[in-house]
Structure 1
Amino acid sequence: PTSEKPELFTKWRKTQEEVNAGMQRVKALEGEILARLSATPANLLEDSTLIEALSNTKKTWREVQDRLKVSHDVDAKLHSTFEDPQTVAERGSLLFFVMSSLSGISRMYHTSLSHLQRIFALAIDKAPFDAVSSKRLANIVDAFTLQAFQATSRGLLERHKPVFALLLAVRIQQAQGVISEEHLSCLLAGGGGLAIETVRRKPYNWVPDGAWLGCVNLFLRLAMFKDLPDSIQRYGDQWRFWFESECPEELTTPEITTSSKMTPLGMVLLLRAMR
């Protein structure tokens, strides 16, 4: 953090030193006053040294109060500066969790926290600088994610690289609130929890049972697919053309609902269900 806001830390240290020095002066003056009081005759007004010490103490105390106010302002700025990096810490935790989960595929993918720390140090150097704290932190998060992805991918077998990319993308979008538990359930299970005998009858024989169960599952779980079974029945020829094409993800789907457009996430879920 000191490398990100060196001027703020310098000012904070300076104000702390000034406050400490002022408090020591006040303490010394108070000791001097007490000593003078014990040695001063009954009429205190006749002791000019004591009166001067009292005046100096009052002046010094005001100076200390002014420095304390400055110190509190700097503390507040430091506090806000350290609150913002929570997003970086959260992304670091997410990256480490995903990277560590790869050991479930193969023990040779074991990683360590020190490895991630080295990646983070590199990301800070590579992230574009911005005087606006929020933008600087966003740059660090992006650079951190990219560096972690590239460093990890270099050590993976080709067949495992798409798995890592999917895991990372899903976890990031989960953290951002883009992907819900319902989305994830549909993505992982498809229509696996349903039986063809217990759901709405499929309208055409060209629709495989598994694909129909996937569609029904989307219909039951997600509002954006609430009209999917009706759409397949209504636009059967168009859906068959889409279903049998080599690259359906590049085509526009037949109309499912007029209330919303197909999103990239929706397309992934639809492909998972039907293909």
Structure 2
Amino acid sequence: AKAPLASKRIHNIVEYATFHVTCYMQRGLFERHKQIWSLMLTTKIQLVLGELSPAAMQALLTAGGALDIKSVDPKPAEWIPDAVWLNCIALSTAIPSVFQLLPESVRMRIVDWRAWYDDDAPEQTGSPLVAMPEVP
């Protein structure tokens, strides 16, 4: 009966400490450093909790930077920058549960992806990937 109470106390202490350390850190940082520090803290917490996989973290940090354009499937259209295509390939292998069909989607729906890529605010619209069937 004491274990759940102790584990709850530990959880509360960790939450309290995380919040207050974050507040103190934010006060001491220059404005331009606050967002990157928050991102670093958040990703570290998610890694420790198992909510973010090491592969996903690696994809976030390097994406397609570790790949060579000559060693991957050719990009389906010339308007796609090499770095963007390499990022698509890297995401599809690093986080297959979400992005496995990304390169295939770009190939099959090239017109939709071009419209989305050229949109002034693509983050405010759904990506063409959403319309692809889910991976089992």
Structure 1 gaps of 5+ residues are 1-75, 85-133, 261-275
What is the CA–CA distance in structure 2 between the aligned matches of 1:246 and 1:156, rounded to whole Å?
A: 33
Amino acid corresponding to residue 110 of structure 2 in structure 1 = G
Q: Which residue of the partner structure matches residue 112 of structure 2? A: 238
Q: Which residue of the partner structure matches residue 127 of structure 2? A: 253
What is the CA–CA distance in structure 1 between the aligned matches of 2:15 and 2:29, rounded to whole Å?
A: 21
Q: Which residue of the partner structure matches residue 159 of structure 1? A: 32
Larger radius of gyration: 1
TM-score (norm 2): 0.84
Q: Does 1:195 align with 2:68?
A: yes
Q: Which has the higher contact order (CA 8 A, sep 6+)?
A: 2
**Secondary structure of 1:154's aligned partner:** helix
Query: Aligned ranges for residues 146-185 of structure 1 at < 5 Å?
Result: 146-185=19-58
Residue 138 of structure 1 and its aligned partner are, at CA, apart by 4.3
Residue 259 of structure 1 and its aligned partner are, at CA, apart by 1.9
What is the CA–CA distance in structure 2 between the aligned matches of 1:178 and 1:160, rounded to whole Å?
A: 24
Aligned mate of 2:81, from 208, 233, 245 = 208
Amino acid corresponding to residue 71 of structure 2 in structure 1 = T
Amino acid corresponding to residue 234 of structure 1 in structure 2 = M
Q: Which residue of the partner structure matches residue 16 of structure 2? A: 143
Question: How high is the sequence identity, in percent, across the aligned residues?
Answer: 35
**Secondary structure of 2:28's aligned partner:** coil
TM-score (norm 1): 0.44
Amino acid corresponding to residue 253 of structure 1 in structure 2 = S
What RMSD, in angstroms, separates the aligned Cα atoms of the two structures? 2.2
Size of the aligned set, in residue pairs, is 133
